[in-house]
Amino acid sequence: MVGWSGNRSGAAYGTGSSDASTGLRSPLAALRARLLAEINATVHGPDLHLERYDRPAGDPGLFGPDSVVWRVHGHPAGMLVGGFAALLLQSLHPLAMAAVDAHSDFRADPTGRLNRTARFVTTTTLGSTAAAERAIAGVRRIHPRISGTAPDGRPYRADDPRLLTWVHTAEVYCFLTGYQAFAATPLSAAESDRYYAEAVRVAERLGARDVPRSRAEVAAYLAGIRPELRVTPPALEVLRLLRGFGRSRRERAAVRVLTNASIGLLPSWARAELAVRRPRLVRASWDRPLARTGGRIMVWACGPSQIRAAAHARATALPGQAG
């Protein structure tokens, strides 16, 4: 699930370099600035709201800089590829997908949907405690309005604790799988368990119950819910939308690379449900290396994250210290 215009949004990560002797941008710096603007506009939208991250001094937020959540959610390629995988995996729950199909604007405004999702994850991960709690409260206010009947006749509610647990578990499973696939140093077994245990804080605040807290619990949960999962026409529409997403040829090519890589993160039964047939050799020798290269280009283009820097300064400052 971990989401590209204008100079204001360029503050998300950093800025390109310039030629100090002439005051003019080199072609490489111009390319970097252009890529940065596109990435920020698509992922973060037009406004970063740094005030969510840079105050108050001494506030660690829901997790803090020593958490595994900060580590996993700070990896660009892992989060983007993992985020796309999460969308595909979540779509296999018929009730969750019925709610999205009837109430979401993902068809008319896919970029806006990506912005909102990325903003929620970033705020709850790196934001101050108050900012994170406000983001969660905002989602909780919306959920009771989302209800209906699925095509199979079953009722659904977005605030159903079981659906919330499914959405959360599918998301963090894919985020962690993305990190393990693309990070230079994957997490140990103990660190992976700690990631799941930490991430429960957001899920429970949203209303989820009996949330898996370790690799073993996540595996057992996915095995238990597997009989409830199946592909539906809206789920296939999500796959088609991801494969064609983008407002320019370059953006569509980049998203296609990320989507192909995300398919490789899915459990084999999920790929079978979606009728996606990409041989293991293609996934291992083509899709994943291309995504790794794209991730390195993204890190180069973005530079240091100003959001993360603001959050780290806030969390490590002495209480009452000016930012």
Q: What per-residue confidence (pLDDT) applies to 291?
A: 84
- pLDDT surpasses 80 at 11: no
pLDDT given at position 19: 40
Q: Is the pLDDT of residue 46 over 70?
A: no
- Tell me the pLDDT tens digit for each residue of 180-197: 999 999 999 999 999 999
**Residue (of 106, 115, 131, 93) closest to 2 by Cα position:** 115
Q: Which of these ranges, 26-30, 31-35, 87-91, 221-225, has the smallest mean pLDDT?
A: 31-35
Confidence at residue 38, expressed as pLDDT on a 0 to 100 scale:
67
Pair of tokens at residue 154: 């079953």
- How far is CA 39 from each of CA 10, 143, 268, 305, rounded to the nearest angstrom? 9, 29, 30, 12
pLDDT at 9 over 50: no
Kindly report the pTM of this predicted structure.
0.86
Q: What is the band of 15 on the pLDDT scale with cuts at 50, 70, 90?
A: very low
pLDDT tier at 16 (50, 70, 90 boundaries)?
A: very low
Q: Tell which wins on pLDDT, 9 or 99.
A: 99
Q: What share of the chain is helix, strand, coil (3-state, %, to 5)?
A: 65, 0, 35
For residue 203, give both structure tokens. Answer: 């899920």
Segment 107-136 mean pLDDT: 91
